[in-house]
Chain A
Amino acid sequence: MTESTAEVARGRVEFTGGRGELLGIILRGYLLMIPTIGLYRFWQGTWKRRFYWQNTVIHGEPLEYTGTASQLLLGFFFALAFFLPIYIGLFVLSMQETDYLLLGYVVVAAVLWFLAGYAIYRARDFRLSRTLWRGIRFDQRGNALAYALRRFLWSLAMIPTLGLIYPWMGASLWRYRWRNSWYGDRRFDIGGNWRLIAGAYYPAYFLNALAIVATAAWIGTTKDLVAFGELTIPGPIGLAFCVGCVLILAFSIAFYRTRVASRMLSTVSLGEAKLTMKIGTGALFGQFVIYLFALIGLLIVLALAALIAIGSIYAAAAAGGQTPDTEAVVSMFSSGTANVVVLIVIYLIVLGAFGMLAELILGLGWWKLLARGATIEKPESLNTVAATAEDRALVGQGLADALNVGAY
């Protein structure tokens, strides 16, 4: 085999979607969420997934997302059934004596943590089983409860080991997820073990620990503190230490995510076809930096908008000739209800703007990095994959939505 045919035999992944298109989907979603009291979020989510899926072109064929918004809506109703008992339990709990109360909250937190694991697995199942490539469906089998239990028990072991056991936990969960993932009648396999995670995890862990200890030690020993209004904050050098800590944290997150994704995903195989993933740390860190500047820009825009709004309220209060005073401005808001509505609107605008920025820069950015970093060895071996029976049992991933876990 010559080198050029070896090149041809590798399947490439491209991403063809533009940021503007995603922006359009998000903005339209926000607009339609107003008259639908938020219910449009299920449709917005579906459109976003269609965008991500159909623009991911693997070896010449795009992915296809076949899920519908009604499924997500229905899933959310099912999630309610999970939550009502917890909610009522919390309510009864809040009436107990303090000792029981504390214990009760710990139990509820543990239940929610366990449920989060279940929800993550079901959400992955929902997405995979609604993903088509070349007309064949992916699937997640295995048992979501078993996965949740595995994740829960490992989490318990994390506490006494101060998180040092994480590489084993991560490897165990990766294996469970991938070895129960299917493409048609063919099962995925993963060769990665804890060493691949540890190689990225421990450097990041100790670097951050060192940075925090050093900062605390510097501020603690030199008493490098200054008064800032009523607050006591670290002095210039101490502050520089703190900024350094944040930078190290951001860098180590970028390092950890790209390194683990590159190494672990490069051990994923589907029959003879093998995945290779190469993502540079700098690429992700660069996105973090762009995100930071975009955030600053957004804050400035929001502040300007707030100033204009306050200015026009002031002008409205001044209308009628007399000098505006606080009294007049306050009287415009003397109805408590109108005030709360204004607060909610401001909150939703801020929340929506930040969510949009995160999606446009971090969400889309990470997806693109994954797509462009991936190549597939022996893609032609996938031609023989056959379809399996439909998996229509899933009603949605409502629990994941309700618990705020999962992405895309």
Chain B
Amino acid sequence: MEFTARYQDGKFATVRDVVCVIDLASDPVVLAILDAETREILDRWPAEASYLLHTRMMELRIANRERPTGARLAVTGLANMKAALNVLPKLSGHQRADTARQARIIVLATAALLSVIVAYLYGIPLLADRLVGVVPAEWEKKIGATADAQIEASLTEGKGYVVCDTNPNSVANKAITRFATEAFAGLNSPFAPTVTVIRSPIPNAFALPGGTTYYLSSLIQASRSPDEFAGVLAHELGHVYYRHGMQTLIATSTTGLLVGFVLGDMTGLSVAAAIGASLIDNRFSREAERQADDFAAKTAQRLGFSAAGLVDLLDRVAKDDAFSRALALFSSHPLTDERRAFLKALDTHDPTARPAFSTEEWQAIQDMCPPPAPPPLPPIVHAAAN
């Protein structure tokens, strides 16, 4: 019952050839380590405390818990390795136990991470909602102004928006301003939304943090009734009221943190971090769209129009536009039918009430930006679109 090995005592950087002999008579059982030439006993290792280390192929490295951490027996040669495993039968058992321990750590850590992700997925709308209350309105307005300048530059290639009707006292502008003011009346919002109609071939409308809202001329041309126009406008004002732009910013930032954690790259340089963040934010924006629809429906009840038309309008322009259809793959909007049903259910306005826009006003709004539109601009899509 013996095998040969290279021995390091873990105290000095020397290597000796040794013969290891098991001493079953002693209690506890020990492994005697003898110098290969002089047969002098160098050490007696408690056999029970010996364990295997991971090492290269065709070698066993044995350490001992009751010896310095660097103390080793290195066993090479197939016959020799077999002899060592025979002499110390518990070695592989220790290694299996270690593998099992590692597996437990991995499973536990994964479960912990998974629960963080799940909690995050369901908690982010709540979290963003709470956090946004802490952000001062002044900050949000500043962010809105910065975003406004950036979007204007990229949408128009630096040329600036073409505002359809620059006279704030025109019939159309006064009607739109009145609508926005009435929509926000009594809501105690820190924001006073401003709506600007600008000339663009892209049928879209969007609200920025802080209340600046843009309605693009093509979307007016695509509207078949004042209710459709009012519905989309109220939906955008809903984004302003619920501070969705700000919430998105918070949600995106915290998502980036989480995805960065999963991928291990906290600097957020990786593309996967960005894609993963958009995946999670997608969920978040659907929630936001539902809230904005809800706002539109409630505004419609108060101001006397039907908000269900907004879904038809958005659906129609999305169908008309090949580019936005391609982008609809990444759509953050809830499914059209679902939305329509939701809005119809809340559509309980008094049909005899004064309409949101009079016939003259609606005509004036339609005439703000008469076609033909200028040559097409590259369509840009951003988080707060629609």
Contacts and interface: CB of A to CB of B under 8 A. Distances in A.
Interface of A: 16-17, 21, 35-41, 43, 50, 54-55, 60-62, 64, 66, 69-70, 73, 76, 79-80, 83-84, 87, 91, 94-98, 101, 112, 132-137, 183-184, 330, 333-334, 336-337, 339-341, 343-344, 347-348, 351, 382-387, 390, 401-404
Interface in B269-321: 269-272, 275-276, 278-279, 282-283
Given A135-B13, A337-B282, A387-B68, A38 B263 contact: yes
Contacts of B261: 80
Contacts of A341: 279
Contact of A137 (B12, B15, B70, B117): B70
Given A64-B61, A344-B276, A347-B272, A339 B253 contact: no
A340 B326 contact: no
A136 B70 contact: yes
Contacts of B69: 66, 137, 390
Given A38-B263, A344-B272, A383 B54 contact: no
Contact of B56 (A62, A95, A383): A62
B265 A404 contact: yes
Given A38-B263, A39-B110, A43-B106, A133 B272 contact: no
Nearest to A403: B267
A348 B272 contact: yes
Interface in B221-273: 249-250, 253, 257, 261-267, 269-272
Contacts of A404: 265, 267, 269
B331 interface: yes
B358 interface: no
A61 B72 CA distance: 12
Contacts of B102: 43, 69-70
A96 B250 CA distance: 15
Contact of B114 (A37, A55, A76, A386): A37
Interface string B67-96: 011111010000000000000000000000
Contacts of B61: 64
B264 A97 contact: no
Interface stretch (B27-35, B41-49, B139-147, B189-197): B139-147
Contact of B264 (A66, A112, A330, A402): A402
Contacts of A40: 106
11 contacts: A38-B264, A43-B106, A73-B105, A73-B109, A91-B250, A95-B139, A133-B13, A135-B13, A383-B14, A385-B13, A386-B12
A395 to B, nearest CB: 15
A3 B57 CA distance: 35
B354 interface: no
Contacts of A64: 53, 55, 61, 72
B338 to A, nearest CB: 13
B264 A36 contact: no
A402 B72 contact: no
A398 to B, nearest CB: 9
A305 B266 CA distance: 31
Contacts of B278: 340
A204 B329 CA distance: 49
B282 A336 contact: yes
Nearest to A38: B262
Interface stretch (B3-11, B364-372, B374-382): B3-11
Contacts of A61: 6, 15, 74
B263 A135 contact: no
Contacts of A112: 267
A89 B270 CA distance: 20
B267 to A, nearest CB: 6
Given A95-B139, A135-B72, A387 B279 contact: no
B275 A55 contact: no
Given A60-B15, A136-B13, A341-B279, A83 B56 contact: no
A340 B13 contact: no
A-B interface, 10 closest residue pairs, ranked by CB to CB distance from nearest: A135-B8, A135-B70, A385-B13, A402-B266, A340-B279, A134-B13, A54-B56, A135-B10, A136-B13, A36-B110
Nearest to A97: B142
A337 to B, nearest CB: 6
Nearest to B140: A95
B122 interface: no
A334 B328 contact: yes
Contact of B142 (A80, A95, A330): A95
B117 to A, nearest CB: 7
Contacts of B53: 64
Contacts of A35: 110
A336 B331 contact: yes
Contact of A135 (B59, B71, B135, B272): B71
B113 interface: yes
A22 B335 CA distance: 48
B330 interface: yes
A387 B12 contact: yes
A339 B105 contact: no
B332 interface: yes
Contacts of A136: 10, 12-13, 70
